[in-house]
Structure 1
Amino acid sequence: MAPSFGRCLQNKLWTGSWKKEDAPLPSLQSQNWRPGAVNRYLGRQREPSVCLCHSASAAVVPQKALEEKAEEFKLVYRFPWIKYCRVLSRLKLLQTATTMVTLPPVCYLYLQDQVSQGVLLYTTGIALFAGAMLYGMSYFFRRIIGLIYLNETGRTVKVAHLTFWGRRNDIYCPIEAVMTLDEVGDSKGELLLQFKRYNSTEILYFTLKFGQIVDKQRFTQIFGKLE
C-alpha cells in the first residue's frame, strides 16, 4: 500500500512540474497582465544577450587601448656585446656582495684570535678592490648604448642602456635634442662616439667598430652624415 501511494505521489509531482513548464504565457487580455509587465518580462529574457555584448566589448577595448599606446620604433643601431656586458655587470655585483658579506665574520674571528692579521688584511683588500672594480665597471657599462631606435614619424629617439643593477633602461628624447657627430666633434674612425643631448648633461657612448648600423638612412637622420 505504501509503495503504490509513493509512486502515485511521485507521478503527480512530475506531471505538475511538466504542466508548469508547458503552461503558455499569460494573455495580454488578462486583467493581471499589463503592458509594463510584458516589457519587464521581455527585458528579463534579453538580459543574457546584453551581458554577452558588454563582455565582448570590454574585451575589445583593452586591446584597442594597447594598440594605440604602443608606438612603433625602428631599430637603427645595436651593440651585440651588450648582453655580455650585462652578465659581467651582474657577476661583478654578486662578487662584491659576497666579499662584503664575508668581511664582518672575518673581523669577528680576528677579534676572537681565531684568524691571523694577514687573513684579515687579505680579506679587506679583496673587498675594497671588488668595490672599486664594481664602481669602475658600472660607470663604464652604464654609459654604453646597446640599442638606438627611431620612431616611424622620425621625431622621437629611443636609447637603451644598462643600469647599475644590470637592467635595461630606455631614454626617450626628441630628435632635435640629439647632437650630430659634427656638433660633438667625433669622427667615424674613433672607437667610442659620444651621444650628447642639448637638454641633458649626461653623456652616453656607442661604437661603430664593434657595433652595427641596422638602418643607415635613419642613422644619418639622427647623427648626420658619416665622414
Structure 2
Amino acid sequence: IFPYRLGSAELGLKSVWHRLLGDVHKIGSGQEPPVRLCHSAPAAVVQQKAVDVKTEEFKLVYRFPGIKYCRVLSRLKLLQTATTVVMLPPICYLYLQDQVSQNILIYTTGIAVFAGAMLYGMSYFFRRIIGFIYLNETGRTVRVAHLTFWGKRNDIYCPIETVMTLDEVGDSKEELLLQFKRYNSTDILYFTIKFGQIVDRQKFTQIFGKPE
C-alpha cells in the first residue's frame, strides 16, 4: 500500500509540473497575453495623450520680456550660494587649526546663511512668475511656461475650463501682479499686464475673461 501511495503522489506532481510548463509555453508563444500587459494599456494611452498635447501647435497669448532677467538672476544666485557653501568647510578647518580668527568664521557663516535665505526667497518668487501663456488651436488647452528652481523652463498643460477668470480670482487690470489659479490645483502663479505683453487679446479674453 505504501509504495502505491508514493507512486500516486509522484504522478500527481508530474501532472502539475507538465501543466505549468504548458501554461508557460502558451504565454511565450503569444496564445494567451500576460495580465501585466492588460494593466499597462491605460498607462500607455495616458502617455500617448500627453505626447499628443505636447506636439500640438499652440499660439502665443501673453509674454513677459523680463523673464530672461529673472532666469539670469536665479542662476547667478545659485552660483553665489554654491560658492559660499564651498568656502565654508575650509574656513572651519582653518579655524580649528587656529589659522583664522573667530570673527572670520562668524562672518563666513553669516554670509552662507544669508545667501541660502536669499536663494530660497528669490527662487520662491521667480518660480511663480509666468513667462509665456499659450492656447492651442482648438481653444481647449492652455500652456503656461515658468521657471524651475534651477532657472530652467517648465511647461504646464491644463484644460481651459480649469483656469479661473480674473473676475473669479478677484484681480483687476490695474494690479501689478495678477493671479493664475486653477480649480484642480492649489498652486498659484503670477503674471503682469503692466510689464508684460498681451499678444492676442481675443485669446486672452477667452482664457481669463475681459479684465476690468
Q: In 2, Cα distance between the equivalents of 1:167 and 1:216?
A: 27
Matched AA of 1:160? A
Partner of residue 183 from structure 2, selected from 182, 198, 207 = 198
Superposed, 1:71-86 pairs within 5 Å as: 71-86=56-71
Matched AA of 1:137? M
Q: In 1, Cα distance between the equivalents of 2:126 and 2:85?
A: 22
Superposed, 1:32-43 pairs within 5 Å as: none
The answer on 1:209 being equivalent to 2:194 is: yes
Q: In 2, Cα distance between the equivalents of 1:96 and 1:190?
A: 33
Q: In 2, Cα distance between the equivalents of 1:69 and 1:170?
A: 10
For structure 1, the 5+ residue unaligned runs are: 1-65
SS at match of 1:80: coil
Over aligned residue pairs, what C-alpha RMSD do you find?
1.4
> In the alignment, what sits opposite 2:166?
181
Change (3 A) 1:134 1:71: same
Superposed, 1:41-120 pairs within 5 Å as: 70-120=55-105
Moved over 3 A (4+): 66-69
Aligned-pair CA distance for 1:226 = 1.4
Rg (Cα) greater in structure: 1
Q: In 2, Cα distance between the equivalents of 1:95 and 1:122?
A: 16
Deviations 1:151-204 (A, max 9, x none): 000000000000000000000000000000000000000000000000000000
Change (3 A) 1:220 1:67: closer
SS at match of 1:171: strand
For structure 2, the 5+ residue unaligned runs are: 1-50
> In the alignment, what sits opposite 2:152?
167
Q: In 2, Cα distance between the equivalents of 1:222 and 1:184?
A: 13
Aligned length: 162
Deviations 1:34-63 (A, max 9, x none): xxxxxxxxxxxxxxxxxxxxxxxxxxxxxx
Matched AA of 1:177? T
SS at match of 2:108: helix
Q: In 2, Cα distance between the equivalents of 1:184 and 1:67?
A: 30
Matched AA of 2:200? D
The answer on 1:157 being equivalent to 2:130 is: no
Matched AA of 2:117? A
Same amino acid, percent of matched pairs? 86
Aligned-pair CA distance for 1:70 = 2.3
SS at match of 1:75: strand
